[in-house]
Amino acid sequence: MKRGAKLAWVAIFFFLMNGLAAGQGSKKDLQLRTVKGTVSDKDEKPLQNAVVFLKNLRTNTVISHFSDPEGSYRFTGLDPNADYEVFAELGDQKSASRTVSTLDSRKEIVLNLKVDRKKG
């Protein structure tokens, strides 16, 4: 085989391998999870500006977001290999904690939170 033909085959090989690796990265990105839902009071009215906490139970990292005017919240890009705990607080009240398990294979998980308990 001539040198030019060998170089062409090597280039094709690397192109295919990089394409497969990029495809695997995209597949991994597709596996990331989202947790979303609404925060409401005991009368099911949406609560704006409730603080929603998401705790990674493997790393103990906590992130938070405020609920929007419709009471909605969303956490994206979550590791499918970690369990999470989610709860909301507004003023002196909080919701029950909800758990997202690694055993739950859904890509998008909806957890509606009801703020109706005293903190403490």
pLDDT band at 62 (very low <50, low <70, confident <90, very high): very high
Give 9-31 pLDDT, tens digit per residue. Answer: 655 655 555 554 444 444 444 58
DSSP for the chain, please give it: --HHHHHHHHHHHHHHHHHHHHHHHHHHHHH-EEEEEEEE-TT--B-TT-EEEEEETTT--EEEEE--TTSEEEEEEE-TTS-EEEEEEETTEEEPPEEE-TT---SEEE--EEEEEE--
What is the share, in percent, of the chain residues with pLDDT greater than 90?
71
Q: What is the pTM of this model?
A: 0.74
